[in-house]
Amino acid sequence: MAHRDQRVLLLRLAGPLQSWGEQSRFNRRETRPQPTKSGVIGLLAAAQGRRREDPLGDLADLAVGVRVDQAGTLLRDYHTVSDYRGRPLPQAAVNAKGAQKPTSPAKYTHVTQRYYLQDAVFVVGVAGPADLLESLAAAVRRPAFPLALGRRSCPPTQPIVLGTRPGTLSEALTEQPWQAGHAARRDFQRRHGRPARIDLPTTVEAPDGDDILNDVPLSFAPRDRRYASRRVTHSWVSAPTGFPDPDTPGPEGHDPFALLGW
């Protein structure tokens, strides 16, 4: 049972592109299939106007849970990198003065690959002290720095803040209505009708969780990035779809075009 001063802040993370990297190299930047805790904390820290060198203790102590409302699809973005001055690209090795050596034989173009999630929608629950969560909700509504879904090139769509609720992470993720986009909801309705609830996968932080993720941010400082691990539980919840009752009379309870697939 949640403490009376504890609440859950619910966020809707959706946009054309998202990318939640856990382990990335220069020439290959992966994305996890759902938001990481470091990515969520980074978004909240940006909303509050924290600098990369600022401490994160109070935010890192928050528990985070994710519900996948719309999984999206994976996009591979192909890049090439070159020096605008026409010089050979440097290699990882350095000379005696600490400067990077040029590639030998000279290499002028480098191939990189970046991965994104397209058209994904997630409901993220952040559990912690009520006063802190209320201040975070206000900051997300009026952010000090631009917000991003994992990378700067991935801005979120609105609304982001769904509100705060009492109870546990699992309870909040169960009670929040389905947030999938219009096209996904229409396709689901065409296939399954208008059920009152839908089963959705969740990943919730828990001390006795059966999986370990190394995504708790200890520092975002560019020269001192550090992370710790946390335990999570993967499960399913039955969430309200938000569809009107098909047996309810009136314009909202009957769709004359439903059988036509419109």
Residue 259 is given by DSSP the state: G
Q: What are the boundaries of each domain within the chain?
A: 6-75+113-260
Side-chain-side CA neighbours of 20 within 13 Å: the count stands at: 25
Q: Rounded to an integer, what distance in angstroms lies between the CA atom of residue 11 and that of residue 18?
A: 15
Q: What percentage of residues in the chain have a pLDDT greater than 90? A: 68
Confidence of residue 262 (pLDDT cuts 50, 70, 90): low
Phi and psi at residue 78, to the nearest 5°: -95, 130
Question: How many other CB atoms are found less than 10 A from the CB of residue 216?
Answer: 19
Phi/psi region, residue 132 (left: phi>0; alpha: psi -120 to 50; beta: rest), is: alpha
Q: How confident is the model at residue 1 (pLDDT cuts 50, 70, 90)?
A: very low
Cα atoms in the 13 Å half-sphere on the side-chain side of 169: 24
pLDDT at 4 over 70: no
Instruction: State which CATH number among 3.40.980.10, 2.120.10.30, 3.40.50.980, 3.30.70.2660 fits the domain covering 6-75+113-260.
Output: 3.30.70.2660
Select from 145, 126, 123 the least CA-distant residue to 136: 126
Q: How confident is the model at residue 109 (pLDDT cuts 50, 70, 90)?
A: confident
Is residue 217 within 8 Å of residue 260, measured between CB atoms?
no
Non-local CB neighbours of 257 within 8 Å, separated by 6+ positions: none
pLDDT, tens digit (0-9, with 9 covering 90-100), for 11-57: 999 999 999 986 656 567 889 999 999 999 999 999 999 999 999 99
Greater confidence (260 vs 244) lies with 244
* Alpha-carbon separation of residue 185 from 120, 201, 242, 255, 259 (angstroms): 13, 17, 10, 14, 15
Please give the pLDDT value at position 54.
Answer: 92
Give CA torsion, residues 169, 180, 231, 48, to 10 deg.
-70
Question: Quick check: 62 pLDDT over 70?
Answer: yes
Contact 86, 52 (CB under 8 A): no
What pLDDT, on the 0 to 100 scale, is given for residue 26? 59
Q: Confirm if 243 and 189 have CB atoms less than 8 A apart.
A: yes
Of 21-30, 46-55, 98-107, 119-128, the least confident: 21-30
Share of the chain above pLDDT 70, in %: 89
Residue 212: name the closest of 228, 235, 200 by CA.
228
Measured from the Cβ of residue 207, the count of other Cβ atoms closer than 10 Å reads: 8
- β-strand pairing of 197-205 with 226-240: antiparallel
Q: Is the pLDDT at 82 greater than 90, yes or no?
A: no
Each residue's pLDDT tens digit, 194-232 = 999 999 999 999 999 999 999 999 989 988 889 999 999
Task: Please tell me the predicted confidence (pLDDT) of residue 250.
Answer: 47
| pLDDT of 9 over the 60 cut | yes
- CA 143, distance to chain mean position in Å, is 17
CA distance 240 to 156: 23
Q: Is the pLDDT of residue 122 over 90?
A: yes
- Residue with the larger pLDDT of the pair 208 and 112: 208
Of all helices (H) and strands (E), which one includes residue 47?
helix 37-48
